Structure formats: structure tokens, C-alpha cells
């Protein structure tokens, strides 16, 4: 079945409402988990776009991935988090640089490496539960 523009919009709206509902009831750990989910999705979409021969600079998934990395870094509690927060900040900044380079070069392999790194950090975060 081929997706029409209206089904794609409806699916996007449904997904957004699901996330808003989930976010309203979430604790801080769950909110960060949701950001990791969205980051993984955005980088995965970028990789798929590259494999399909599309240019990914100035696309919504690229902007979303970058914004999430900035948000994750900005949301760190550096006072309470100490060395862990400082280390995470360095990781997020490094990921942002890798994202920017991958997007500029339309490099699917670099995006796959970035996604592996995100999945590693995300898995560690999920163990907090």
C-alpha cells in the first residue's frame, strides 16, 4: 500500500499526540528516554535518506537531531551531576560535531557510526530504570 500525503500527515499527527500524552505523564528519566528515542529515529531517517540518494542538509530530521543534542546538553544538571554531567556534555558536543560533519558530507557510514554511539549512551541511560 502506498502512503498518500494525507495518511502521512495523519500518522505524524497521531505520533505527535502520542508523544505529547506520554511526555505529560513522564518523569525526568522518561523524558530523556523519549529524547533518545527521537534522536535515534531522526538519525535513522537521515541514514535512510542518504541510502536513497537524497541530500540531507537543511532537512527536518537533521534539524531535529541537532536540536535534541543541544537540548540534552542544555538540560544537564551540572551542579548535581558533577563529573558525569561534564562527561555527558562532552559526548553530546562530540555527537553534534559528528552529526554536522555527516550531514554536510551526506555520509551514511558516519551517520551509522553516530547512531551506534547514540544507541550505546541510550542503553546506559535506560539502565537507570
What's residue 15's pLDDT? 57
| Average pLDDT estimate for 19-28 | 61
What's residue 13's pLDDT? 52
| pTM for this prediction | 0.81
**CATH classification of 28-126, choosing from 1.10.3470.10, 1.20.120.340, 1.20.1050.10, 3.40.50.150?**
1.20.120.340
Q: Characterize 77-88 residue by residue with b for buried, 16 or more Cβ atoms within 10 angstroms of its Cβ, and e for exposed.
A: eeeeeeeebeeb
pLDDT digits (tens, 9 = 90+) for 31-55: 999 999 999 999 999 999 999 999 9
Domain boundaries along the sequence of the chain: 28-126
> How far is it, in rounded angstroms, from Cα 88 to Cα 46?
23
**Residue 8 scores a pLDDT above 60:** no
Amino acid at each position: 500500500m502506498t502512503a498518500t500525503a494525507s495518511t502521512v500527515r495523519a500518522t505524524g499527527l497521531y505520533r505527535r499526540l502520542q508523544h505529547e500524552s506520554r511526555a505529560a505523564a513522564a518523569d525526568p528519566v522518561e523524558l530523556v528516554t523519549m529524547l533518545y528515542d527521537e534522536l535515534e529515529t531522526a538519525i535513522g531517517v537521515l541514514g535512510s535518506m542518504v541510502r536513497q540518494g537524497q541530500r540531507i542538509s537543511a532537512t527536518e530530521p537533521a534539524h531535529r537531531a541537532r536540536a535534541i543534542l543541544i537540548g540534552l546538553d542544555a538540560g544537564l544538571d551540572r551542579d548535581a551531576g558533577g563529573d558525569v554531567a561534564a562527561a555527558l556534555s562532552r559526548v553530546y558536543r562530540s555527537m553534534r560535531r559528528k552529526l554536522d560533519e555527516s550531514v554536510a558530507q551526506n555520509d551514511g557510514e558516519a551517520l551509522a557510526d553516530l547512531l551506534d554511539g547514540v544507541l550505546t549512551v541510550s542503553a546506559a541511560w535506560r539502565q537507570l530504570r
